[in-house]
Amino acid sequence: MARDRLWRIDFTRAFRTYKELQYPNDPVRCDRQLFEKLKALDANELAEKTKPHLTKDEMKAVMTPRDAIVQHFRMLYDAAITAHRWMQLGGQMKMHRTVLWMTMYVASVVAVIGLAHTKNKIVDIPIVAERPEDVSTIEAIVKADYESISGGVGVPRQWARDLSLHVPGARSFSPYKDSESDALLIWSPTMQEYANGVDAHYVKNGFVEHELSHKIYRFGNVATVFSSYEGKMTSTGEIYSRGVNIYQLCFDGTRWWIVSVSWDDESPINTIPPELLPKT
């Protein structure tokens, strides 16, 4: 209240039925306690306490922007963690300071832009130290990657373990056909985006992927691995997918890293070559 004026605050504006944030990329900081309370906000509890006052659409208009805000700050957090891991890796590899700062900038921009395109639930992936046995050899790191994404029905995936295998900012690449235009497109998710996209499906139905055979091509501290795979849904026992993963790896003097993984599924016109099939 000013000295000679009374200001009226209309709280009903907070319950408009808009479901999109007007300026989704503007927030850059959030009090930690407020953020924790936003995450803990429960739709059922909100409905119970506001039942006489808010309509169903108004309650959705509270929860949907809340989800977007929480997702936004989680992605900013992930970007900061990625940048931090690049700093650590940069110390090991003696990367130039300019490269590190450019990486931090790009990671932050990608996180903000990604907000507009991510529709799946964000999977919480803590940062953990790698298991020495996972990264000691080429064969070991490929095996660990398969194990991390595999599990029965209701079994959580080992996303933290999988993240520890990859260089910060690593991406996967997989071609697919657009259902409307029939054009060949490339899906290129980050580790976080991949987990967000498949976690619920894998846990609900059970998904186990294992290697059939592999060939390794190494030159010094870099290597390419052609690894044929077969994936099954444990809920049905049926084969879900077969194809070839192509791993790009690098060695930093102490451990191996996955730089990227590209894959394509087997089809009638694109079968797994004989040299990548198990020997009978």
Summarize pLDDT for 176-205 with one digit per residue, the tens.
Answer: 888 778 888 999 999 999 999 999 999 999
CATH number among 3.10.450.50, 3.40.50.10490, 2.60.40.1930, 3.90.650.10, domain 132-276: 3.10.450.50
Specify the domain boundaries for CATH 3.10.450.50 within the chain: 132-276
DSSP 162-196: HHHHEEEEEEEEEEEE-TTT--EEEE--BHHHHHH
**Given a cut of 80, is residue 265 above it in pLDDT?**
yes
Q: Summarize pLDDT for 139-179 with one digit per residue, the tens.
A: 999 999 999 999 999 999 999 999 999 998 899 999 988 87
Among 59, 72, 70, which residue's Cα sits nearest to residue 14?
A: 59
Question: CA distances (Å), 264 to each of 21, 53, 161, 168, 187, in order?
Answer: 37, 53, 24, 23, 11
Q: What is this structure's pTM? A: 0.62
